[in-house]
Chains A and B, each alone.
Chain A
Amino acid sequence: MVRFLAGRALALVITLLAATLVVFLVLNVVPGDPAAYMMGLGGDPAALAELRRELGLDLPVWQRYFAWAGGLAMGDFGVSYTYRVPVGDLILERMRVTLPLTLMAMALSTALAIPLALFAAGRRGRAADAAVSGLAQVGLAIPNFWLAILLVFVFSTTLKLFSAGGFPGWEAGVWPALKALVLPAVALALPQAAVLTRVARGALIETMGEDYIRTARAKGLSERRALRDHALRNAMIPVLTILGLQFTFLLAGGIIIENVFYLPGLGRLVFQAIAQRDLVVVQGVVIVLVFAAVLVTLAVDAAYALADPRVGKGRR
């Protein structure tokens, strides 16, 4: 187990290293100059050259890579070209919106999906099961940004229950801040809930067919209790895997939703940074997201290894 985890941790470090290289190289062939962006339409050529020197953009690519990657190893993400503040601070600030939004969406999707899956698995083959499956199919097919537009129209423009966008900041109080995240979280959660419902239902039905459940059923355990007390526990592994994937997906996948609702989250930060060619920020955010993805994969693998000791020994 320990050796397995150590091996995975090594793979994590290598992946991260490769990621820094890929990100840096990709970003350095992007056309467009952050200094030119800052100088704008009437920009003076001499002032532009001076700004490029000040930002270190006149140095060779490899020198900039080592400066950046070296700083990264020490936990220093560099300083944003346009905002002129440390990138680490910017990311932390935006995480205060993106992380709660992601967790809220995951909580919502779980709260919807697990009861639905239990309900459908308990009635498999019947009309209710078909209805749940149909619903999940539709949920899968709805683009989350379209859902967001519809939600805004119904709940903010028409019913005026929520604001259509913006974020008051946690300083304004927990409730107003959470309230601003409700519609975006719902828009993100529904398609995810559809995925989760399908996976959970499938896993539940599969475990219900296992011998030990059949034995328990034969001993008089009711189907409902068998589902809830035994099958659910064993169906948790595929569900957790999907949740792990969803976490990383939502962290980055909020880009469009954060733009629709105008939330100051990580997605909008990076979207804006790409447009402004604030490459230091883009690099930082991508590395954080890659790190999160790799970490989650590691956690899921570890969960598998814990649940099934054979995994740790063999290859994946």
Chain B
Amino acid sequence: MNAFRRLAALLACTLALSACGEPQARANDVRLGIALEPPNLDPTSGAAAATDEIVYANVFEGLTRVGAHGEVLPALAERWDVSPDRLTYTFHLHPGAHFHDGTTFDASDVKYSLDRARAADSTNAQKGLFEPIASVDVVDPLTVKVTLSRPAGDFLFNMGWGDAVIVAPESAATNAVKPIGTGPFRFSRWLRGTQIELVRNPDYWGPPARLDAATFVVISDPAAAYAALLAGDIDSFPNFPAVELLPQIEGDPRFAIVIGTTEGETILAINNARKPFDDLRVRQAIAHAIDRKALILGASEGYGVPIGSHFPPHDPAYVDLTGTYPYDIAAGRRLLAEAGFPDGFKATMKLPPVAYARRGGEILAQQLKVIGIDVSIENVEWAQWLDQVFANGDFDLTIVSHTEPRDIAIYARDDYYFRYAKPAFKALMAELDLAGDDAVRRPVLQAAQRMLAEDAVNGFLFQLPKVGVWNARLMGQWANAPVQANDLTGVYWQEP
């Protein structure tokens, strides 16, 4: 019986201790909640957005960087010259920059990083970004000349992606587990399954970070995230996973709720190569059947801006095309009948394991049923989705959010999973690559948006929102997510 008594005592202690709470003095650090743990910390290998969300702009930097509003800013390159034919970019590098292991940053690191990313044996997931590069030449330790084989409209923006950060040859092989960059924060340690810790880099070449340290804590369960926020365990959720619980936080002066935008166009992707979806009238019918308002309420708690094409509403070149095929059941039925399906048809919808897709799928299946399309839902894991839908185009319908920035050009790819690649659209994209100036690019981008909307390539649903919830005294976080990143360089605590 003695053992039982001891155990009871132990339990009582635990209970008592928990009641004491822990109101401690706040150090100059921040604890951020993230939903997904990255598989590794090397942004130049896998495609995990979770990796960029931790290391981009904090640990690793590129030649350029993408700012809070999607603009291209100088980073390791303090300025650049572009030749008139837009084939030669001369980058002037920032002097005095060092990697976290003490090695000096110079032009040879730039050449190494770019050559590594575009090499034949490269495992860079965004190898396509580097495809236009013909050669990289070191002019002097602080000058690099990049020559392109053809003009690339987004080249400077692309050099600001997480996949294009500059790494050192000495540490490139071990960045996955021990990232060494040039950024304002150094990697400190990684408790797998729990948290990743960064500390300020005292030798940073630019304006130093204002925080001493930052910890990214992995919490994906919505209920746990909510509780951790209320308990003060977490200072900020840049992407709060429990949107349904926002009504309970609203009005609490301790927290700031910031609804921003992302680059995530959420679409009902349609297999344009497969019958009967190759018929424009069928796709138009689907577009007419979609009630975006009900969908956004059910799939995203009402947050998210409706879209009518594959383009983010916060971009200056955006056109509102949500009225192209308005919610109109009669029109949908009529178009289906015209296409030869007066009694509708059967189709399947493969849904990846994210809330917007799973919930949105149930709602869309019902909306499509109203016009006669009998949709059966098949829930799949990401691995299966990537294999069946994305790699092999084996699907009728699916729901997914395309979070890559400036990605309208995917519609020009021949074997991209929704199989559109209309020659007229490809011509528009080619035109875009030749245009350097925003004034020239804008009408082209708008024509492209219209073409996608009118062809009803996919069901365009809504722009994925970025719902940030953080301590009201924490300043300087991004409201929007033009790239998948949590740039902490400007974050600080306001004095109470």
Contact = CB atoms under 8 A, between A and B. Distances in A.
B28 interface: no
A182 interface: yes
A38 interface: yes
A84 B177 contact: yes
Contacts of A161: 15, 18-19
B27 interface: no
Given A90-B192, A275-B353, A38 B46 contact: yes
Contacts, number: 176
A178 B219 CA distance: 18
B7 interface: yes
A262 B220 contact: yes
A137 interface: no
Nearest to A115: B4
Interface in B6-53: 7-8, 11, 13-15, 17-19, 37, 39-40, 45-49
Q: Which bracket fits the contact residues of B?
A: 35 or more
A33 B388 CA distance: 10
A264 B220 CA distance: 12
Contact of A276 (B39, B124, B223): B39
Interface in B369-399: 381-384, 386-388, 390-391
Nearest to A263: B193
Interface string A80-112: 001111000010011001000000000110010
B40 A82 contact: yes
A272 B218 CA distance: 13
A47 B125 contact: yes
A107 B407 CA distance: 55
Contacts of A83: 39-40, 177, 192
Interface of A: 31-34, 36-44, 46-47, 50-51, 54, 82-85, 90, 93-94, 97, 107-108, 111, 114-115, 152, 156-157, 160-169, 171, 175, 178-179, 182, 259-262, 264-265, 268-269, 272, 274-277
For the complex of A and B, 9 pairs with smallest distance between CB atoms? A264-B193, A40-B47, A165-B224, A32-B383, A164-B227, A44-B127, A82-B39, A38-B46, A51-B123
Given A54-B123, A107-B7, 10 more contacts: A31-B388, A38-B47, A39-B46, A40-B48, A42-B128, A47-B127, A82-B40, A93-B192, A164-B228, A165-B221
29 contacts: A31-B383, A38-B46, A38-B125, A41-B47, A43-B47, A44-B127, A46-B120, A47-B122, A50-B120, A50-B122, A51-B45, A51-B123, A83-B40, A85-B192, A107-B7, A115-B4, A152-B223, A163-B228, A163-B233, A164-B223, A165-B224, A166-B219, A166-B233, A167-B193, A171-B191, A182-B18, A260-B221, A262-B220, A272-B37
